Amino acid sequence: MAVQAVWLDCDPGHDDAMAIMLAGYSPALKLLGISTVASNQVVEKTTRNALDVLELIGLHDIGVVMGQAKPLLREAALLCPEIHGDTGLDGPHGGPVLPHSSRQALPGKAAIVMFEAIQQQYIRHPQQGRVQLVCTGALTNAALLLLLYPEVKAMIDITIMGGALGVGNTGPVQEFNIQVDPEAAKVVFEAGVPLAMVPLEVTHTALATPAVLARMFSRGGPAGISPFKALVELLLTFFATTYKDVFSFHDGAPLHDPCAVAAIIAPSIFKFELMRVDIETVSPLAAGQTVCDIWHQSSAPKNCRVAREMDVDAFWELMLAAVDAADLAAPMNTPQPTPHAAAGRVVIADRQDC
């Protein structure tokens, strides 16, 4: 299978950090860049977190551009400090735990930088097909990209982590990423671009259980757990604690966002169903709901492939392999001068399901 170019639009975020790791270390993907948006935390913090995650995992050649600080029409973004902490990537005792990157965000507006990168990739490497835009936060940047550059519709597929077929998480029927900017989600879902949605019903099966974490942290060398994996353990411990406190998840936190990346790497591990999905933007009770026509009763065109199931074991094989690859490249494991842009890049071994 040919390598696919991907742009990751995210709001790091503990699970976003794991999504960056998976996108950066899959041999099936070429990560073009990262844009950030205000959702889990304010955009200044999500941008800093994206840069620091790339520093942590040794991907110094991936650029980050700061995206929108506010939704398209609403006054301010919803934030999620009760889950991700004050920094957006807190450790178990609060406050930052990541190594600080000296890099800064790329200059320019996110939609412009995204379009230029996507267009350049599409023109220069037509054999790699359409660029995969993976969105794991609010859809504000994606909506602006589509509104400002409608020609991009011929160049991209979009996969989002977001939405729910039934019960929401930050509202009775609303999933957080869609609820942050319903109007932006409406633009994306009505754009006519090939669209896939990985909803809560699926991502809630990707639990970082004690058994999964034992596998993750027992795969180190003879010296035991590395400094890198010890830091990942701190992050996932905090994430598990907040999910237990807020949502009563007792078996570990769900790694929502890597599921959307996995859907690009190995679509065969998912069961998708094409259906009509509309976005509620008006109701004071349900603004941000993804109204999924499960019974195919709508006469409107089906516009979204909705994931209904995921092979959880196969997902964790992808995720654990990415953690291992990042562990090999992590500068904190072997302190040394910052490598040149392309040095030290390691990818996980090729896999049949990729």
Position 244 pLDDT exceeds 80: yes
Position 272 pLDDT exceeds 50: yes
Both structure tokens of 288:
């941000």
Which residue in 84, 93, 256, 296 is the catalytic one?
256
The helix (run of H) or strand (run of E) holding residue 247 is: helix 227-247
Give every CB contact of residue 97 below 8 A, 6+ residues apart in sequence.
Answer: 89, 90, 91, 231, 234, 235
Position 63 confidence tier, pLDDT thresholds 50, 70, 90: very high
Strand partners, 254: 207
pLDDT of residue 256: 98
The helix (run of H) or strand (run of E) holding residue 21 is: helix 14-25
Q: What is the mean pLDDT of residues 218-239?
A: 84
Instruction: Let me know if domain 4-333 sits in CATH 3.90.245.10.
Output: yes
Position 120 pLDDT exceeds 80: yes
Q: CB–CB of 8/23 below 8 Å?
A: yes
Position 291 pLDDT exceeds 80: yes
Question: What residues does each domain of the chain span?
Answer: 4-333
pLDDT of residue 223: 58
Residues 287, 166, 200, 82, CA torsion sign = positive
Strands 270-275 and 304-310: antiparallel
Backbone angles phi, psi at 158, to 5 degrees: -120, 130
Q: What is the mean pLDDT of residues 336-353?
A: 42
Q: CB–CB of 319/255 below 8 Å?
A: yes
Convert the pLDDT of each residue in 176-209 to its tens digit.
Answer: 999 999 999 999 999 999 999 999 999 999 999 9
pLDDT of residue 95: 82
Position 262 confidence tier, pLDDT thresholds 50, 70, 90: very high
Position 343 confidence tier, pLDDT thresholds 50, 70, 90: very low
Annotated catalytic residue 256:
yes
Q: CB–CB of 128/4 below 8 Å?
A: yes
Convert the pLDDT of each residue in 249-258 to its tens digit.
Answer: 999 999 999 9
Position 160 confidence tier, pLDDT thresholds 50, 70, 90: very high
Backbone angles phi, psi at 196, to 5 degrees: -125, 145
pTM for this predicted structure: 0.93
Position 269 confidence tier, pLDDT thresholds 50, 70, 90: very high
